[in-house]
Amino acid sequence: MRNICIAIALMITATASAELRKWTTTAGPTLEAEFVELQLGTVYLKTADGSVKKINKSKLIQEDQELATKMASPFYGKKKAAPKTTDAIYDLFGKNLTNAQKKRVPVDALSGKTIGIYFSAHWCPPCRAFTPELVKFHKRLAKEGKSFEIVFVSSDRDKDSMFNYMKEMDMPWLALPFGDSHKKELAEKFHVSGIPKLVIIDPQGNLITEDGRRDVSGHGDDAYAQWK
């Protein structure tokens, strides 16, 4: 008996603090407590005053029986690992991108998505004319739950200009960090001789079109269906 008590104490100490919840028995009475462990059909619950109560799992209502079984799993409460993108996408962009709030975003955020690579700059009049159209296009697709993201590749003269451009145009997408070495490689790979240019690639990094700008301007939201 003493060994059992020690074991329970160790379980309580080792178990991460859980929220108190109401456990209900089939007979009606309830108990406000946090889950500690499920062993041999017995549910151990810790009340707010630290005392441990034992309840036969079969004496709990079905919902609480199922919850106790789930909480007893070593994987319960652990976040699933975020999906990883492909090596080809890492090769194109590196490991991290940024957003308009200057926060670093893992390139894995592109996993499974059709990607638009947008070469643009604030000082470029045709870019400032097309960007608002592209922002609306992106927001409409996002609202519809489409698996699409844009990576802005800036040709601005400095980092502040790049972020001011993103803020002014309310760009909802990601960007290659200013001055990143991948910019030159992207420009060469996709034959960028002028801006704005919108290149569309699939989730594996395969080229769909180098003329995404024409597709968006000419076909609107239907452009996305053409890229799939």
Determine the pLDDT at residue 11: 42
Total of domains in the chain? 2
44 within 8 A of 57, measured Cβ to Cβ: no
- Asked, for residue 135, whether it belongs to a domain, the answer is yes
Looking at the predicted structure, is the pLDDT value of residue 82 above 70?
no
Same domain, 29 and 113: no
Do residue 65 and residue 99 come from a single domain?
Answer: no
Domain check: are 103 and 44 in the same one?
A: no
* Separation of alpha carbons 59 and 50, rounded Å: 22
pLDDT digits (tens, 9 = 90+) for 188-198: 999 999 999 99
SS3 133: helix
Do both 92 and 49 map to the same domain? no
**Residue 140: inside a domain, yes or no?**
yes
Whether residues 159 and 221 fall in one domain = yes
The torsion of the CA quartet 217, 175, 87, 106, rounded to 10 degrees, works out to -130
Kindly report the CATH number assigned to the domain that includes residue 97: 3.40.30.10
- 78 pLDDT band, cuts 50/70/90, is low
The amino acid occupying position 158 is D
The residue segments making up the domain with residue 144 are 87-227
Please tell me the pTM assigned to this model.
Answer: 0.66
Task: Encode pLDDT of 140-180 as tens digits.
Answer: 999 999 999 999 999 999 999 999 999 999 999 999 999 99
What whole-number distance in Å separates Cα of residue 23 and Cα of residue 34?
9
- CATH number of the domain encompassing residue 27: 2.30.30.700
Asked if 139 and 214 sit in the same domain, the reply is: yes
Q: Are 107 and 88 in contact (CB under 8 A)?
A: no
In tens, the pLDDT along 50-71 reads 889 999 999 999 999 998 898 8
Start-end of H helices in 15-158: 62-71, 87-93, 125-143
Whether 184 is in a domain gets the answer yes
Q: Is residue 77 part of a domain?
A: no
Mean pLDDT of the chain: 89
- Would 78 be classed as within a structural domain? no
